[in-house]
Amino acid sequence: MPLPAPVSSDINAAADHLRAGRLVAIPTETVYGLGANALNETAVAGIFTAKNRPNFDPLIIHQSTAERILRYASEVPDEARRLAEAFWPGPLTLVLPKADAVPDLVTSGLPTVALRVPDHPVARALLELLDFPVAAPSANPFGFVSPTTAQHVANQLVDRLDFILDGGPCRVGLESTIVAFPGGVTTVLRKGGLPIETIEATLGHPVAVRTHGSSRPEAPGMLSKHYSPGNIIRLVDTIEETEDYPVGTAFIRFGGGGARVQRKELGLVTTYNLSPDGDLGEAAQHLFSVLRTLAVEQHPLVVVERLPETGLGRAINDRLKRAAAR
């Protein structure tokens, strides 16, 4: 049995593990990733095993600058270049035709590769030390909610990886927005930490959005039952307090003031407010932690209020919809 992975903020030690072909959980501004040397197929295979991830689900590779990561694309369309300049480092992943150096295992045999430059000081310092890109899916068992703290990673994967690099809680809290260019059309494949409106404002035109799953989804973040915390979740426009709810029901709200967490000792419900001030960024930061807490608390029912369908609200509603899918 491997020893449980140490949780540490030692960037040099993390780099040594990656150079040796081992698995390291790394902090990013979006969520924690389960990283390995993307050019080492044995190391990459270890990611799929550790996550129980089907190998038809390709990985994102990461480096510290646009220049260092774009080497792994064989072609960079003009709009991709503009997005890279505007949003890297940041919560954006670009899917581009792959360079030969990228192993097929990373891309699940696709002719394209997903590239990202994370905006996290610890991740960037680590990547600066490495002469290879790091392949990193979110550091959770396949189908589960992504981790936004080192503790989340440790809770589920501690005996399945070699090292957990602690960079504190993730600032964005939602996975990156994935953009591809099929047939030259700029297309969002996954709503995420970079709002679609922000992308459209930069490009000066609307983009296509194609985030619905199929049996062999291009981005399995799109599988409808993904991000599942294991509770029965009902997504509603407004919570009607007068309705009859089973004892132990939890509400997830947004805005309206009050406390972030309110437990009614003898009452029916526990209320989690993603952001009492109605701040979508704060709601995104808290979303996955709240879903994890709910999974542990085993409420018979979780009633969630849909957020405004704008900015980060679109990505949050997407994750809630998938969490509610059964």
- The residues that touch ligand TXA, with contacts defined as CB under 6 A, are 28, 30-31, 33, 57-60, 93, 95, 107, 110, 112-114, 116, 118, 136-138, 175-176, 178, 180, 189, 218-221
Least distance from Mg ion to the Cβ atom of residue 91, Å: 14
* Residue 58 or 313 having the CB closest to ligand TXA: 58
CA distance 268 to 152: 28
Unique residue bearing structure tokens 């029901």: 249
Angle, helices 150-157 vs 280-297, to 10°: value is 30
CA distance 38 to 98: 13
CA distance 61 to 279: 31
Is 138 one of the binding residues for Mg ion (CB under 5 A)? yes
Q: Measured between alpha carbons, how far apart are the two ends of the chain, in Å?
A: 35
Least distance from ligand TXA to the Cβ atom of residue 161, Å: 14
Is residue 288 within 8 Å of residue 145, measured between CB atoms? Answer: yes
CA distance 19 to 14: 9
* Residue 138 or 231 having the CB closest to Mg ion: 138
Least distance from ligand TXA to the Cβ atom of residue 111, Å: 8
* Residue 211 or 317 having the CB closest to ligand TXA: 211
Select the binding partner of residue 29 from Mg ion, ligand TXA, none (C-beta < 5 to 8 A, by kind): none
Select the binding partner of residue 167 from ligand TXA, Mg ion, none (C-beta < 5 to 8 A, by kind): none
* Residue 41 or 57 having the CB closest to Mg ion: 57
CA 190 and chain centroid, separation: 10
Binding-site ranges for Mg ion (CB under 5 A): 138
